[in-house]
Each structure stands twice: as structure tokens, then as C-alpha cells.
A and B are shown apart, each in its own frame.
Chain A
Amino acid sequence: STISILPTSLPQIHRANMLAQGLPAASKISPLVNKKSKTKWHFGIRSRSYPLDVMGEIYIALKNLGAEWARPSEEDLWTIRVRWKYDNGSINNNNGNMTMISNNSNNINSTNTMTSSNDAIPDLMKMVIQLFQIETNNYLVDFKFDGWENSNGQVVTNSNISEDEMSTFSAYPFLHLTTRLIMELAVNS
């Protein structure tokens, strides 16, 4: 085989050749440092604030974003069951804001689009937000996707969907809403 790598194309050799020509600009240009800064991942978001303050901030952010939530039970103040009307802009709200949802569900303007099979597209995303204590004065706010519902109360039926089909789930609406919530928390705090 006569396949090879062109020596003059190797960055170090190219740079040496360019500098040898003594061109003024050449000495000013440094190579791109492709720092492989490994992204450090965390579960949810961390907080060192007082737990009740954290919960308060989350409720304020949820309210600002037009979400609704189930009244927390006495024995579990640290879990919030959220429901968000996720209108993709093509339906009726162009600024991407969450549409305010009144508590009784029949006031919700059901702007569902109908799929070809005529069952409504679920437009209420459910999410569970839970506060965990990692260690003293170190808390973690965890976000979990909790399925979809129809704002017109129709139960989402996963009709004759094969096991394989069952796992075609789009994470983007969930990721999008969590970015909105995290931004709201970041801006408020």
C-alpha cells in the first residue's frame, strides 16, 4: 500500500515551516487547545440553602412559569408533583410560556391537536421534583419525568404498542422545561 500521512500537514511541522519563513502573523497565531474538559455531571441541582427556603423558591419559580402542582401531603413536604401544559408553539402560544392552568381542569382551553388516529395528543407533562439531603447543609433538588396527561381529562392510552415501540420517548420537552425551571431559579436567586 502507498497510503501514508503527508508529513508537511502535521501541525507541528507546518508550524515550524511557517515560522521558518519569518512571517509576522505566524508568530501571533497559537494552536487551538482542544481541551477535552470532561463535562462534570451532577444529579439535579445542588443547594446549600435552608430546605424550606429551597422549597419556597421552587414553588415561586413554578408559579412564575404557570405550572400547577398537587397539594403536598403532610408526611411528605419535600416532594412536589407538578403538571405543566406543554403547548408546542405551533399550537397557540408563540413565546413558549407555559399556559396558566386553573385548578379545576374543565377551564383548561383544550387546544389539543388530534393525531391521525384521532386520539388527542397529551399536552400535560407531569414531573416529580424532590428535595434530598446529601449531608449537613448540602441538598439536592431532583427532577423526574412522570408521564403525560390530556388536558381534556382523557386518559392517555398506550393502545396496541409493542414493547419495542414503548421506548420511543422524546426527552426534549422534559429537558426543555427543566432548563426553564433552572433558569427561573437561577434568575430569582
Chain B
Amino acid sequence: DAGENVLLEQRLAVESIRTFLNSKTSYDVLPVSYRLIVLDTSLLVKKSLNVLLQNNIVSAPLWDSQTSRFAGLLTSSDFINVIQYYFSNPDKFELVDKLQLDGLKDIERAIGVDPLDTASIHPSRPLYEACIKMMESRSGRIPLIDKDEETRREIVVSVLTQYRILKFVALNCRETRFLKRPIGDLNIISDQNLKSCNMTTPVIDVIQLLTHAGVSSVPIVDENGFLVNVYEAVDVLGLIKGGIYNDLSLTVGEALMRRSDDFEGVYTCTRNDKLSTIMDNIRKSRVHRFFVVDEAGRLMGVLTLSDILKYILLGT
């Protein structure tokens, strides 16, 4: 009976959260007062890196003042593309140094990666719709675009991320407390052909793994498969800032020494943890993924915010 209860409570809670997401708009997620940092596309890429690090952000919308239009999002994927381009063309240091943000499209073409599709949505559309659109895009974030009522010009109102939405749910949906089934039973953990590396793997191989596997982090394990650390896509910003990207013989362990001291650490959990506890952690901390380990600490899989959101939106 108890098991039946947990199943029923979980299903009702998920349905209630979906109803909540349909009853709110993306505009509701916005704080009453907030900052939005936008970069002019004629800015140099290396200057934009200073701006992101100075403001402690990892992404920003771009504004093309020539066309007076929103020109997509700058994300860590762009910096990864620049590193890969430089790695394949070490003689092009000058070009990389003088690269402007509106030149990033050429870099994508040069290394043959698909441009990040920047779907966008109107702030007044239901939050559920924004979540569905965001899941279709690889960047894990979705710009909210409106139009100036006089000039019909685009306004970048804000950029919603999976983290912001899950935090909004964790803060406003009391039903998250009824998500008591173990995550191992929900079939939402990514544990098939999991990519990993070890501390001595060259950082350029890890960066290429991020792109080729289309993931935003690569777990680092020791020779016995125990999880030791994680290399995240956003770590690339520190690599470039330090100018050490041209020493790409660097191991991923050495590259991780660039991490600033306010990095909160890698969150781990086990298959027995409940989504209610996971959501509680998202409510309290800046956590972007949970690495699933066994009792001894061996890597078993990863639970990303995208996996959680997908379960809440579409899970059975």
C-alpha cells in the first residue's frame, strides 16, 4: 500500500506541477527588478570574455546595432569553438586575437559545427511552452523576446535557463515534496555509454569530447572508476582568460587548477535519492547537475537539469 501511495502521490504531484507551469508565464519568473547584460556584436571575443567573468555570468544575448536586432546568445559553446579552431589552426593566433563576436558564425562554419539554434519565445507565453521550446534547443536556455510597441524593434527582455525554471518550481510548488520515488526507478538517469576521462587526459581531448558528445560536462574518474572531479564547459572561459589555451598539452587536472575558489564543488547522489530532495537542493544551491555514484563512490551516471525538466514536463 505504501508503495502504491508513493506512486500515486508522485503522479499527482507531477500533474500539479505541469498545471502550475501552464498557469504561469515566463514573465512571472522574472524578478521585479533585474539586470540584463547585452553585448554589441562588434565587441572583440576576448573583451566579451572579460565582461562575462567580471559580471560572473557565462552567457549573454548579442545585439547587432547595424540591424538593430537581437543576434543570438553568446555561450560557453562559442568559446569551445574558438579553442577548437585555434587548435586546428595554431598559426591563426592573430585572427583569434582580433575575432569579433559577429565573427563567431565563421568559426562555427570553419570547424563544421551546427550553430546553436536560438529559439526564442514571447514573455507572455505559458512557462510550460517555454520549457518545451528550451528542451528542443541545445543551449539549455531560451531568450524572451518582445517588440517595442512604437518602433516594432525587438526587445531582449531576459534569458530563461533550465536552472532558473527548476528553481522557480522548487520555490513555488509545494508539491515537489511528494516526489518521493527513488530517481533510480524513474528511468531519467543518463547512464548509457557515459563519456568520462581521467586526470591526465589532455584538456583538448576533453574539450573535443564536450562538443562531439554534445554534453556540458565530462566526469573525471580514477583507474578504479571512482569519481574524482568534473570538467565543465564553463571551465573553458577560465582557460581562455588565462591565455593558457595555446598550451593544449595541458592535462585536464592542470586545467582545473584555473577554477576560482568560489566554485561550490561537484554534487553527487545515489539512485536511492528522491526527486523531492534533488529539488530541495536546487532550491537552496546553485547546482547544475548531479553525478550518480554507488555506495563506494564509483561513477554510475549523471542526472542533468534537462533530465529533471524533461521528466516533469513529459515523464510518465
Contact = CB atoms under 8 A, between A and B. Distances in A.
Interface of A: 1-12, 14-15, 18, 23, 25-26, 29-37, 39, 86, 88-90, 94-96, 115, 121-123, 148, 156, 158, 161, 165-166, 168-173, 176, 179
A5 B291 CA distance: 10
Contacts of A5: 264-268
A11 B259 CA distance: 6
Given A89-B66, A168-B149, A170-B148, A9 B266 contact: yes
A7 to B, nearest CB: 8
Given A3-B277, A11-B257, 6 more contacts: A6-B268, A29-B257, A88-B153, A156-B150, A168-B146, A176-B40
Given A6-B227, A34-B260, A170 B65 contact: no
B67 interface: yes
B230 A9 contact: yes
Nearest to B155: A170
6 contacts: A11-B259, A88-B69, A165-B149, A172-B65, A172-B68, A172-B156
A12 to B, nearest CB: 7
B246 to A, nearest CB: 13
B interface: dominant SS: mixed
Contact of A32 (B154, B250, B260): B260
Nearest to A157: B150
A115 B149 CA distance: 11
Top 7 A-B residue pairs of the complex, sorted by shortest distance between their CB atoms: A88-B68, A89-B66, A9-B266, A170-B148, A5-B265, A29-B257, A170-B155
Contacts of B272: 2
A175 to B, nearest CB: 8
B191 interface: no
B269 A31 contact: no
Interface in B43-57: 53-56
Given A29-B244, A32-B241, A34-B260, A3 B268 contact: yes
B150 to A, nearest CB: 5
A29 B266 CA distance: 21
Given A6-B265, A148-B150, A169-B149, A89 B67 contact: yes
Contact of A168 (B69, B155, B251): B155
A172 B241 CA distance: 28
A6 B67 CA distance: 47
Contacts of B278: 3
Contacts of B268: 3-6
Contacts of B65: 96, 172, 176
B292 to A, nearest CB: 10
Contacts of A37: 54
B242 A32 contact: yes
A25 B203 CA distance: 13
A9 B266 CA distance: 6
A36 B290 CA distance: 27
B1 to A, nearest CB: 24
B155 A169 contact: yes
Contacts of A86: 68
A158 to B, nearest CB: 7
A56 B268 CA distance: 64
A86 to B, nearest CB: 7
Contacts of A15: 257
B56 A34 contact: yes
Contacts of B228: 6, 8-9
A18 B253 contact: yes
A96 B242 contact: no
A11 B91 CA distance: 33
Nearest to A115: B152
B148 A168 contact: yes
Contacts of B153: 88, 170, 172-173
For A121, A168, A170, A176, the residue with the greatest tally of chain B CB atoms inside 10 Å of its CB is A170
For A2, A32, A156, the residue with the greatest tally of chain B CB atoms inside 10 Å of its CB is A32
A35 to B, nearest CB: 8
A57 B151 CA distance: 30
Contacts of A33: 260
